[in-house]
């Protein structure tokens, strides 16, 4: 090992002690996220930060030596944004996992980045409050990672994404300086909105070490509707009709491939003859009446079976079917999960295109997602040990992204860009706009050491 390589490692070890890991075998689990077909390098060192001082020290050393830094949360990302680069420092935030404060009067929670989403929701519930953002990975994904990708979830159509629930961020710049952005007040227009620049930046601008998240009063009640349709287009017709007369907190779609996979895993007795299943949930004082309106809209759109309930246990059981969609598809082979958003009225065209792509490449593609806001997750199932199948999977993935763009959509609704979607960024945002993004990054990180080549 050269002297140049030893110097930053020696400095890290001297400054941070056993928070630094350099044994290759111990770093393997930190090399990549859950994105199967994206490249991952071998880090120079892993730093498992215990507090903000550790983050500051690690970044000062990295900045001094020009060593890239890849910040990592729980590793549940699906776009390769947390994949290691050769010779980088992987900065893990998993040990910074304390809920620092919950203020019921202000309806805020201040947390470290390693706090698991579901744990924050549970802590808020103890105070009769609700942390809303609920990505499918909420039981295992961290708030820092949710902020880094601006994660969404099932309730986005009514309540928004993670960025809509953040009040204030404490972060560390590449050179070790600490910054505070935002305010805990409801209204704040002092200067540029640096908070929303950090949200969704995938670790390219700064390292988030603390966040104050907004909470809501817990909903008083919830009612659930489950409807089966012969075709996905009819399910979307129902969603469009519902949007005119009601505001459900979620409207989730599963196609026939996903229904079969979930049924096989859970034995729930879902209708496998259906082309699509729509799961709708309404909350608030009028939830039962609103759910019945949604149920009627489903029937009018051609649903073959409609069931509604205000029993919270039954509602949660149906929600569980949607939550395990990806896990159920993973049981059938290797998966390549896409994340595409189109205008809701163009969902039938996108779904039809996905079916055509699956047939053309002779691949299984199970599609599920958030129909109420147009965000789909077509999931390609293939054999990763077969190079020819892997190539077809990548080609079909590319075609789905191209079709999404042609329909006026976005290449990512909630998973971020990372490595996986970087080739499509210029087509999505434009060359001049991408140049502006690069200049913003340069203002935050002049030497370009924070997650280089990702997110932008």
Task: With beta carbons less than 8 A apart as the criterion, state whether 150 and 163 touch.
Answer: yes
3-state DSSP call for residue 407?
Answer: coil
Which long-range contacts link 384-387 to residues 24+ away (Cβ below 8 Å)?
Answer: 384/36, 384/37, 384/333, 384/334
Dump pLDDT digits (tens) for 375-406: 999 999 999 999 999 999 999 999 999 999 99
Instruction: Give the model's confidence band at 456: pLDDT under 50 very low, under 70 low, under 90 confident, else very high.
Output: confident
CA proximity to 54, closest of 95, 86, 99, 22: 95
C-alpha dist (Å) from residue 245 to 6, 229, 238, 294: 65, 20, 11, 8
| Average pLDDT value for residue range 261-273 | 94
Q: Report the C-alpha gap between 309 and 221 in whole angstroms.
A: 11
Which tens digit of pLDDT belongs to each residue from 26-69? Answer: 999 999 999 988 999 999 999 999 999 999 999 999 999 999 99
Tell me how far apart the alpha carbons of residues 282 and 289 are, in angstroms, rounded to a whole number. Answer: 9
- Taking each continuous run of H as one helix and of E as one strand, the counts in the chain are 16, 19
Would you tell me how many other CB atoms lie within 10 Å of the CB of residue 425?
18
CA count, 13 A, side-chain hemisphere, 130: 13
Q: Name the strand (E) or helix (H) holding 408.
A: none
pLDDT exceeds 50 at position 304: yes
**Which residue is associated with the tokens 């799961």?**
279
In this structure, what DSSP letter does residue 218 have? Answer: P
* pTM of the predicted model over 0.85: yes
Domains of the chain: 5-94 (3.30.43.10), 99-217 (3.30.465.10), 219-319 (3.30.70.2190), 333-446 (3.30.70.2740)
Q: What is the pLDDT of residues 364-378, one digit of tens each?
A: 999 999 999 999 999
Mean pLDDT confidence for 317-324: 91
Q: Are 227 and 252 within 8 A, CB to CB?
A: no
Contact of 365 with 378, CB cutoff 8 Å = yes
């Amino acid at each position: 090992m050269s002297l140049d390589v030893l110097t930053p490692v020696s400095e890290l070890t001297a400054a941070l002690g056993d928070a630094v890991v350099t044994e290759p075998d111990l770093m393997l689990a930190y090399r990549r996220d859950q994105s199967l077909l994206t490249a991952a390098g071998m880090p120079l060192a892993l730093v498992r930060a215990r507090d903000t001082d550790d983050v500051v020290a690690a970044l000062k050393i990295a900045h001094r030596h020009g060593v890239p830094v890849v910040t990592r949360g729980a590793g549940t990302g699906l776009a390769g944004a947390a994949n290691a680069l050769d010779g980088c420092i992987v900065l893990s935030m998993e040990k910074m996992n304390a809920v620092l404060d919950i203020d019921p009067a202000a309806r805020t929670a201040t947390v470290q980045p390693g706090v698991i989403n579901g744990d924050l929701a549970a802590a808020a519930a103890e105070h009769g409050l609700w942390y809303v953002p609920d990505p499918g990975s909420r039981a295992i994904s961290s708030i820092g990672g949710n902020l880094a990708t601006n994660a969404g979830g099932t309730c986005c159509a009514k309540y928004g994404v993670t960025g809509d629930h953040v009040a204030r961020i404490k972060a560390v710049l590449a050179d070790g300086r600490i910054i505070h952005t935002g305010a805990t007040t409801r209204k704040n227009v002092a200067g540029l909105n640096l908070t929303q620049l950090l949200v969704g930046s995938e670790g390219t601008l700064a390292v988030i070490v603390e966040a104050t998240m907004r909470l809501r009063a817990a909903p008083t009640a919830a009612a659930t509707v489950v409807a089966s349709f012969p075709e996905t287009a009819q399910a979307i017709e129902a969603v469009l009709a519902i949007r005119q007369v009601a505001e459900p907190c979620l409207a989730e779609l599963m196609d026939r491939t996903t229904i079969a996979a979930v049924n096989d895993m859970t034995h729930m007795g879902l209708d496998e003859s259906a082309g699509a299943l729509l799961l709708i949930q309404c909350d608030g004082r009028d939830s039962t009446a609103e759910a019945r309106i949604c149920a009627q809209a489903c029937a009018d759109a051609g649903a073959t079976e409609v069931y509604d309930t205000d029993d919270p246990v039954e509602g949660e059981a149906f929600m569980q079917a949607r939550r395990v969609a990806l896990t159920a598809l993973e049981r059938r082979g290797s998966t390549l999960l896409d994340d595409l958003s189109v205008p809701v009225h163009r969902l039938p065209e996108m779904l039809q295109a996905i079916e055509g792509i699956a047939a053309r490449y002779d691949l299984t593609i199970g599609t599920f997602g958030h129909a109420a806001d147009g965000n789909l997750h077509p999931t390609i199932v293939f054999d990763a040990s077969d190079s020819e199948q892997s190539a077809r999977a990548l080609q079909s993935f590319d075609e789905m992204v191209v079709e999404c763009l042609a329909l006026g959509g976005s290449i990512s609704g909630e998973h971020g860009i990372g490595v996986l979607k970087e080739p499509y960024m210029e087509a999505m945002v434009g060359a001049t706009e991408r140049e502006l993004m690069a200049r913003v990054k340069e203002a935050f990180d002049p030497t370009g050491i924070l997650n280089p080549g990702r997110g932008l």
